[in-house]
Amino acid sequence: MQNPLHFPFEDDMECAQQTVSSLDCGMFVMFYMDKIAQGQPIPKSVDKKFMNEYRAQYVTKLLHHKNCVINRL
């Protein structure tokens, strides 16, 4: 059966990359999805400090979300 959905693929090796020893792959994916969803350009470079700040912002959003289980304790 053929897949009726077609998604274009763009290979962009100039976008920000995590370092080999970094364990930020999930955060990079979340960062890219966030930028794409908002229609914003993806920066060419992202440093460790920026990614740490982005992680903190994301965790804060999750913890303050109305459906967060922690808020029900």
| pLDDT value at 66 more than 90 | no
Distance CA 30, CA 64 (A): 18
Q: CB burial class (10 A; 0-12, 13-18, 19+) of residue 31?
A: buried
For 29-62, the pLDDT digits (tens) are 888 889 889 999 888 888 888 888 999 999 998 8
Cα 69 to Cα 58, 65, 72: the distances in Å are 16, 9, 5
pLDDT for residue 60: 92
